[in-house]
Structure 1
């Protein structure tokens, strides 16, 4: 049966890492892939995506929830809090109370919440405190999912994401293969038949201690230092971006074609 799927959150849901100039904001992502499969099941399915990269949980709460519920959705996906977990200091109890308030509002409006745990990304030991926060976050998300009869995609349990090929160069966002694989997990959790098959990339590990140290140093310089620099300056990569699909569209009409119609100059 058709419905209206609205996705809210940060870069995880916007689609960062699944780079594709054909789509709005230059990314595709798991949510677009899920929407396409829903449209194949029933062409009357509609889809909107309000997620924007770098948004913290309070941004999602204040800027996206009302807008999403105004669209009268039947299914709302929510992933938020990952950027908060990366802060130097964070009150996890307050964060999860705010998260639960969003889920309660979604469920109270008659939409089915679709929630995600966070994966323990294999990162440098410098991020170890963030991993402990992630475990706490996951415990709360599982409890909240049970309380509000949400669909839970327990991302933390997906062992294949230990493969570096499922991650983008920044190691924080999924690669195209990672987004495609997650879309298959989401559809399975929703009980939706689909045509997606995992395409795990071939991965050749860097050999030797010296090569590994060089790779780690390059990653810290190219990704980690700039990320924390932006935080100190209070700027984000999403400051000048708008939602990718702010108004409901029908994926059965073709998301690429809809994107070209919205931006005639796009090749």
Structure 2
């Protein structure tokens, strides 16, 4: 199936979600693949001169994305842009989802300057995720704002909140904060469907999960907290980021596969 579409230059901006963290691939730039790379691979099937750049960096807050990625993205003159930003802000205590959305809208208006198709994301439902479940109401408010921002700025929204399949634990990486390879694959299919681009990415047909005992679940939770949660909290206390000293994996618009 040929992926017919009108775009020839795609630029993705954002944080770890767009960088592809949770979907390790040693042969990919930066060592991660992710949904954006998968989408670009499908889009590239339709034209020999398709170009793709990914400026996203893990751990970035919204203002950092605005300051470091918006203008470089526009300089690449894309006709398709995706932006997922603000999620790291929402996780921070005291953050206001309305204020974050106001800043996002200013970035969205700037990204629309040259008429590119713009893709936004409503965040997934984190109600079943440890720690993140505490900010579920803020995420829901932010999502409503994102839908309004998209409507006012003629953008499209990939609604991850509505994707019930993302509630499957197998969609998530071991850190329970990022998506697994399967999760990124599933999101890539949703992005392409939102853009009305035909593709041959296989849908997910899960096998039934075997139930685990309460004791086993608690052991797994303790192991997860020790390996992932504690380092995450320590970084927040020290005002450090997982993206410190990390550069964009695809800073220039080029061929998806060399």
TM-score past 0.5 threshold? yes
Corresponding residue for 2:232? Answer: 227
Distance 1:166 1:128, change over 3 A: closer
Aligned partner of 1:123 in structure 2 is: 129
In structure 2, what is the equivalent of residue 189 of structure 1? 194
Structure 1 residues not aligned, in runs of 5+: 259-267
Which of 184, 190, 208 pairs up with 1:179?
184
Moved beyond 6 Å, runs of 4+: none
Picking from 86, 109, 117, the partner of 2:114 is 109
Distance in 2, Cα, partners of 1:239 & 1:201: 36
TM-score (norm 1): 0.90
Distance 1:93 1:232 in 2: 25
Alignment-derived partner of residue 57 in structure 1: 62
How far did 1:226 drift? 0.9
Deviation at 1:93, TM superposition (A): 2.3
Q: C-alpha displacement at 1:201, in angstroms? A: 5.3
Distance 1:103 1:35 in 2: 21
- Alignment: residue pair count: 252
What's the C-alpha RMSD, in Å, of the aligned pairs? 1.4
TM-score, with normalisation over the residues of structure 2? 0.93
Question: Counterparts in 2 of 1:193-232, with a 5 A limit?
Answer: 193-200=198-205, 202=207, 204-205=209-210, 207-232=212-237
How far 1:90 sits from its partner (Å)? Answer: 1.0
C-alpha displacement of 1:214: 1.2
Distance 2:7 2:88 in 1: 33
Distance 1:22 1:175 in 2: 17
1:238 aligned to 2:240?
no
Q: 1:70 aligns with which of 75, 81, 90?
A: 75
Give, in angstroms, the shift of residue 88 of structure 1.
Answer: 1.7
Q: What displacement does 1:149 show?
A: 1.1
Larger helix proportion of the pair: 1
1:16-43 CA-partner distances (Å, limit 9, x unpaired): 0000111122100010110010010222
CA distance in 1, matches of 2:200, 2:157: 21
| Separation (CA, whole Å) in 1 of partners of 2:202 and 2:155 | 25
Contact 2:98 2:145 in 1 (8 A): no
The one-character-per-residue Cα deviations of 1:200-239 (angstroms, maximum 9, x if unpaired) are 5546445211111111122222111211110111111111
Residue 84 (structure 2) pairs with residue 79 (structure 1): yes
The match for 2:151 is 146
